Amino acid sequence: MKIYKKVFPLIFFVAITVLTSGIGFFVLKNIMPGDDTLSARCWKEVAPYLDQNLSIQKRVDDLIGRMTEWEKIGQMALIEKNSIRDLGEITKYNLGALLSGGGAGPKAETPLAWLKMVNSFQSATKNTCLKIPLLYGIDAVHGHANVLGATVFPHAIGLGASHDADLVKRVASATAQEMAATGIYWSFSPNLDVAQDIRWGKTYETFGSNTENVAKLGVAYLQGVQDYSENYFKVLATAKHFIGGGSMQYGTARNKDFKVEEGNISLDEKSLRQVHLVPFQKAVENGAQVVMVGTATWNGKMNTSNYYLLTDVLKTELGFSGFVVSDWYGVYQVSNTRYDSLVKSINAGVDMVMTPFEYKDFMSNMQKALANGDISRERLDDAVRRILTAKFKIGLFDRPEVVQSGLSVIGSVQHRALAREAVRKSQVLLKNENLALPLSASLEKIIVAGSVADNLGRQAGGWTTEWQGIDGNYGVAGTTVLDAIKNAVAKNTKVEYNKQGNFSMGNNLADVGIAVVGEKPYAEGWGDDINPSLSAEDLETIKKVKEKSKKLIVIIISGRPLDIKKYINNWDGVVAAWLPGSEGAGVTDVLFGDYNFSGWLPAKWPL
């Protein structure tokens, strides 16, 4: 009896210790943020998931086996960088991905400032248990154009006019080089939408309205971005917006400020597949690792929560093994509560949620859904495996930190020459009467006018430095069409410019009048337009130029075909220049005959 009395307290103490440490471990492992950075499961130099000699599968198996539920949920969040007030939040919430929404850069938009900003976010992951690097994504849709001094390539609609897959691949590869130089390894491009309605503001982000051309150029772009030149992809591409983008019916937009964007697609399944599935099928066959689901509805159901589309068709039928990311607030538009929207979208097949600002809400709702069984742990692990696999494929765990010396590739001479080639090859000759074109470079006098002649921002279009683009010559580096004309002509050719076309020349006519006209910059739904056409200001300018010149050339800089039917008969030469970007000399290369016009329409232009 005495011995029992002596031993009992010891037994009791041991039992209590085991019990409390067990509860403590459970809490740490599954409920509290993973701040047990000293435990055995945490980062160690020799951990298998850090071993580059192991297969990606084995590295993912090891890593996911070490992760708490909290850490897994953090990998599924894609957060807009402006929602991070304190780098410690990245550590505390184990966030796995950040993005720069359109124009969301550092205060100074310079390449160095971008590099420092991205590196600072990455550094915050070093204080976590497993040190899983961040994916940083951006809409580098026509070059790394959020960054001041980057090469601004023609928007996709112009590349679509080139119909040149090799060119598109080189443009994409150059874009990826400029992105990687700033430590950004995820591009939200190529856009694989097939623009069936040019009234849609996103038309210029597409390769046009022909499914085969979109598929061909989309694959080329994807291969250029994900160039497997080393033992990992250079940058992760994103095939977007699955599925049916470009076929939304005019007037069905959920957002009352828009007309087409976020609208409803009423195609039957056969037509949806015929017009829109092939580009994604080819992208998956050629290594797409990320698909972004669009915010459109298909016959009234949000694509974001459509299990048939995301899981049955994309993941099972097409065999897509990468991850599906939702579009901006796409998940929270599914139903009237965030919890229900999240459960429906994740269970439909969304793997990463572009929240984009509410990560705390996302994390708690995910925890709740897992605890309730509304989202299974199998679905959680499937999503996280897909995301981690992509991170290993682009070498996120293995790359050295990006340093300043690599920044010289941004806006390099080689890239600008490539951009000029892309501009050249995208120019489409819409009309050429009276042998108006090509122009001689040794004319006596040329007059130049129009709202876009001396406006780099309009020349570049949306997604340039700012989401909606820039309307002017600040914030973009490059050559305007006006300067390109001045540089192209003989030294004794007189070039006179007046934006509105007000020239005091008496009865002397200029040999040629060039009016460079077109659209103001816009992006997405803000560009939805019931009848895309030239402004009254531009039409007035064209009239004045015609009165003062022997031959009239109209250069249209726009994201889509414009309605010019009523006016084109009075014009001698007409060129569709699309949105050429920083290298205006690509326009004059064909205007003055150094190169032949080779572009042809990527979408129907009613003339």
Instruction: Give me the active site residues, please.
Output: 327, 524
> Is 448 exposed, middle or buried (CB count within 10 Å of its CB: 0-12, 13-18, 19+)?
buried
Q: What are the start-end ranges of the H helices in 108-250? A: 111-124, 156-162, 165-180, 211-225
Nearest of 349, 357, 369 to residue 332 by alpha carbon: 357
86's tokens: 């304190």
Select from 328, 332, 571, 597 the one that contacts ligand GLC (CB under 6 A). 328
**Per-residue DSSP letter, 143:** B
Of 328 and 332, CB closest to ligand GLC: 328
Which member of 34, 101, 143, 532 binds ligand GLC (CB under 6 A)?
A: 101
* Cβ nearer to ligand GLC, comparing 101 with 246: 101
Out of 34, 66, 121, 139, which residue is the one contacting ligand GLC (CB under 6 A)?
A: 139
| Identity of the residue, 358 or 524, whose beta carbon is nearer to ligand GLC in the bound complex | 524
In the complex, minimum distance from the CB of residue 227 to ligand GLC, in angstroms, rounded to a whole number:
21
**How many residues make contact with ligand GLC (CB under 6 A)?**
8
| CA 493 to centroid of chain Cα atoms | 42
Helix/strand/coil for 276? helix
Q: Check binding of 133 to ligand GLC (CB under 6 A).
A: no
Residue by residue, what is the 3-state secondary structure of 522-574? CCHHHHCCCCCECCHHHHHHHHHHHHCEEEEEEEEECCCCCECCCCHHHCCEE
Query: CA 273, 265, 195, 473 torsion: positive or negative?
Result: negative
Residues 139 and 102 sit within 8 Å (Cβ to Cβ): yes
Residues 6+ apart with CB under 8 A from 229: none
Q: Could you give the dihedral angle defined by the CA atoms of residues 296, 299, 301 and 305, in that order, rounded to the nearest 10 degrees?
A: -70
- Out of 71, 193, 327, 519, the only residue in the binding site for ligand GLC (CB under 6 A) is 327
Of 163-222, binders to ligand GLC (CB under 6 A) are 188
Token pair of 374 as six digits: 């509304």
Alpha-helical regions (H) of 442-597: 456-460, 481-488, 536-547, 585-591
Identity (one letter) of the amino acid at 170?
A: R
Residue 475: left if φ>0, alpha if ψ -120 to 50, beta else—which one?
A: left
Least distance CB 149 / ligand GLC (angstroms): 21
Distance of CA 102 to CAs 140, 204, 266, 267, 519, Å? 9, 16, 29, 30, 19
Residue with Cβ nearer ligand GLC (200 or 592): 200
Single out the residue of 34, 74, 96, 102 in contact with ligand GLC (rule: CB under 6 A): 102
String of contacts with ligand GLC for each residue 104-123, x by CB under 6 A:
--------------------
Main-chain dihedrals φ then ψ at residue 75, nearest 5 degrees: -70, -20
Q: x/- string (CB under 6 A) for ligand GLC, residues 513-532?
A: -----------x--------
| Element at 293 (helix H, strand E) | strand 290-293
- How near is the Cβ of 420 to ligand GLC at its closest, in Å? 27
Instruction: Give SS3 for 594.
Output: coil
When the beta carbons of 359 and 397 are compared against ligand GLC, the nearer one is 359
Q: Closest approach of Cβ 257 to ligand GLC, in Å? A: 13
SS3 471: coil
Rounded-to-5 percentages of helix, strand, coil across the chain = 40, 15, 45
Hey, which residues between 221 and 250 contact ligand GLC (CB under 6 A)? 240
Question: Quick one: 152 or 423, whose CB is closer to ligand GLC?
Answer: 152
519 vs 524 by CB, closer to ligand GLC: 524
Give the total residue count for the chain.
Answer: 607
Helix axes 211-225, 165-180, angle to 10 degrees: 40
Cβ-closest residue to ligand GLC? 188
CB of 188 to ligand GLC, least distance (A): 3
What are 534's two structure tokens? 């030239």
Closer residue to ligand GLC (CB): 240 or 420: 240
User: Given the complex with ligand GLC, which of 101 and 218 has the nearer CB atom?
Assistant: 101
Site residues (CB under 6 A) for ligand GLC? Answer: 101-102, 139, 188, 240, 327-328, 524
